């Protein structure tokens, strides 16, 4: 263990900390070089995703002091970039462990720096934070969440005045301010309750939340005369997060009368006792909900992640079994539904636009082209979709945006927020499901129709974890080797390599590699921006579903062999 790491540890041990849990943890790690090294070998990384890390003591952990330091940096940035009358920040938080503490800690730092704070009186989803930033004309916003990560994580997303997660330029400027801040010596703060009484901290007005729900309900693409069966049996799980109230409110106010909640996952609980990995992308998180759906004879299960910006679904197939649909499949179903209904009802705008990420399924491009919709492919991260909406707005074409999605279960049908919105996603999925059900068609049947018409595309995501100090360097070495040493995958020659690190196709520089392969296939490799993971996206197009499955497995196995994974 280096002397620098030991010096940091010793300083924290000798400082009176604001959270007694940290003091106890520091005592318990005494003499454990591995634990001390992992907790103090670096500062918790701040980037366009803000902060995200394991909750605990140390510079490489999420705690009140690392949150305070980041908040001081954000406060310095806001004070340097905005006139005094425009200095306000919106704050929201989810159900994770210490989320409310971290939110109030940040709010007190902002207030101590003369910045007015609007904080939700109770936990609220990420899209509600994006909406509040715009509605209240704030200079910035923060959402305390670790999204779909396990319970030991928490995080701190930062939003700009446009309601989007911050750009690389803003993140670099904020990071510069953070790096100048001493965690114990330079942070301004004070008593949260005193700031609240003085009016420097106030609750987000109730009308902002009401307006958000109203905007979600406006996303319906049904005509006023269209009749659908809103008594369809739906099971919904908030996965112990923030979605319970807004999702059920949007649905019930729109006439859905047969909603069953997964009781064990209904109320907020940062321990996520029935789904240790609260991610609707994975079967483990959906298992309890599928049991509920079977018992209630429901045909649709929806689940949202803790900060309610992602939604996953399961539907009955022709055999009566529940099938989990991928984010790509749901995205294509929603795109086709929205386009067909807009054309049917005469509401398709001029120059309609679909915004999606470069790792999302190519089938969507073909569906969009069929309807005369222009596809804009963007880097991974919904902030780029939010930015695209802003660019359209600047051109006076905000109405051109009809849909945006990413393969990681994020959807948005309107421009009222600038981040993915699972309240909107759940609302639109329920409407689509009910509409097709009324027409005598199921979602699996509709998906089969799309594949028959456009091709059997399959996109899959694999994540490979590299923990600790050695993991980061190993990922860097792997990315370097991919840039120079790969000419084929699974026996398919690489026909083209796009290296987005140089900033190509009009997109910002990003550490992403896309390999185009023989046979209409591709592989994308990138390090995660929020987790110690290397992500692989495999895309193939087969003659039928079985052929697509075979091709996908061959490419995935080839990549695993490259990593020497068993």
Q: 134 pairs with which residues across the strands?
A: none
CA distance 547 to 480: 32
Alpha-carbon distances of 534 from 77, 176, 391, 490, 554, rounded to whole Å = 31, 26, 31, 19, 19
Beta carbons of 244 and 94 less than 8 angstroms apart: no
Beta carbons of 413 and 424 less than 8 angstroms apart: yes
CA distance 463 to 140: 32
Q: Is 556 helix (H, G, I), strand (E, B) or coil?
A: helix
Beta carbons of 542 and 548 less than 8 angstroms apart: yes
Q: 92 φ, ψ to 5°?
A: -140, 165
Beta carbons of 101 and 108 less than 8 angstroms apart: no
Which are the catalytic amino acids? Answer: 147
Q: Is 67 helix (H, G, I), strand (E, B) or coil?
A: helix
Q: 260 pairs with which residues across the strands?
A: 235
**Through-space distance between the first and last CA atoms of the chain, rounded to whole angstroms:** 31
CA distance 127 to 460: 26
CA distance 3 to 131: 46
CA distance 539 to 549: 10
Q: 51 φ, ψ to 5°?
A: -110, 150
Give the pair of three-digit tokens for residue 516: 């185009």
In sequence order, what are the residues at sequence separation of 6 or more whose Cβ sits closer than 8 angstroms to the Cβ of residue 248? 236, 259, 261
3-state secondary structure 197-254: HHCCEEECCHHHHHHHHHHHHCCCCCCCCCCCCCCCCEEEECCCCCCHHHHHHHHHHC
Please calculate the CA angle 337-445-218 and round it to the nearest 5 degrees.
25
3-state secondary structure 307-367: CCCCEEEEEECCCCCEEEECHHHHHHHHHHHHHHHHHHHCCCCCCCEEEEECCCCCHHHHH
E strand segments, 86-164: 88-93, 116-119, 140-144, 153-160
């Amino acid at each position: 263990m280096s002397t620098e790491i030991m010096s940091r540890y010793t300083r924290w041990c000798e400082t009176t900390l604001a959270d007694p849990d940290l003091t106890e943890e520091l005592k318990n790690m005494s003499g454990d070089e591995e634990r001390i090294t992992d907790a103090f070998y670096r500062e918790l990384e701040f980037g366009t995703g803000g902060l995200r890390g394991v909750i605990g003591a140390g510079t490489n952990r999420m705690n009140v002091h690392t949150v305070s330091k980041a908040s001081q940096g954000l406060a310095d940035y806001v004070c340097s970039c905005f006139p005094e009358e425009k200095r306000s920040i919106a704050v929201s938080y989810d159900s994770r462990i210490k989320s409310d503490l971290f939110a109030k800690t940040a709010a007190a730092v902002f207030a101590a720096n003369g910045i007015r704070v609007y904080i939700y009186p109770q936990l609220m989803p990420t899209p509600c934070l994006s909406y509040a930033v715009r509605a209240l004309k704030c200079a910035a916003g923060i959402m305390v969440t670790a999204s779909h990560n396990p319970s030991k994580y928490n995080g701190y997303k930062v939003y700009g005045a446009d309601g989007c997660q911050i750009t690389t330029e803003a993140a670099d400027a904020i990071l510069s301010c953070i790096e100048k801040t001493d965690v114990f010596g330079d942070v301004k703060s004070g008593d949260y309750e005193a700031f609240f009484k003085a009016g420097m901290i106030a609750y987000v007005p109730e009308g902002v939340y009401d307006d958000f729900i109203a905007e979600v309900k406006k996303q319906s693409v049904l005509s006023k005369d269209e009749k659908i069966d809103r008594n369809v049996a739906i099971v919904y799980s908030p996965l112990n997060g923030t979605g319970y109230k807004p999702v059920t409110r949007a649905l019930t106010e729109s006439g859905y009368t047969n909603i069953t909640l997964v009781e064990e996952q209904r109320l907020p609980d940062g321990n996520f006792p029935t789904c240790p990995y609260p991610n609707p992308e994975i079967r483990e998180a959906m298992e309890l909900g599928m049991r509920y759906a079977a018992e209630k004879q429901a045909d649709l299960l929806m689940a949202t992640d803790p900060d309610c910006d992602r939604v996953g679904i399961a539907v009955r197939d022709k055999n009566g079994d529940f099938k989990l649909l991928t984010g790509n499949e749901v995205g294509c179903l929603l795109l086709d539904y929205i386009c067909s209904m807009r054309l049917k009802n005469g509401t398709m705008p001029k120059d309609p636009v679909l915004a999606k990420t470069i790792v999302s399924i190519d089938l969507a491009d073909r569906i969009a082209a069929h309807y005369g919709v222009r596809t804009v492919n963007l880097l991974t991260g919904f902030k780029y979709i939010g930015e695209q909406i802003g660019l359209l707005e600047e051109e006076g074409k905000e109405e051109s945006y009809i849909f945006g999605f990413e393969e990681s279960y994020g959807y948005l049908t309107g421009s009222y927020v600038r981040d993915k919105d699972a309240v909107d996603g759940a609302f639109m999925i329920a409407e689509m499901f009910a509409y097709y059900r009324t027409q005598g068609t199921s979602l699996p049947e509709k998906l089969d129709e799309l594949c028959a018409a456009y091709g059997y595309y399959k996109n899959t995501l694999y994540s490979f974890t590299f923990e600790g100090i050695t993991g980061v360097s190993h990922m860097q070495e792997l990315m370097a080797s991919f840039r120079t040493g790969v000419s084929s995958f699974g026996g398919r020659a690489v026909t083209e390599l796009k290296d987005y690190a140089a900033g190509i196709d009009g997109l910002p520089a990003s550490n992403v590699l896309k390999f185009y392969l023989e046979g209409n296939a591709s592989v994308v490799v990138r390090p995660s921006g929020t987790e110690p993971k290397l992500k692989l996206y495999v895309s193939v197009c087969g003659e039928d579903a079985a052929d697509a499955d075979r091709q996908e497995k061959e490419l995935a196995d080839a990549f695993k062999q490259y990593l020497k994974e068993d």
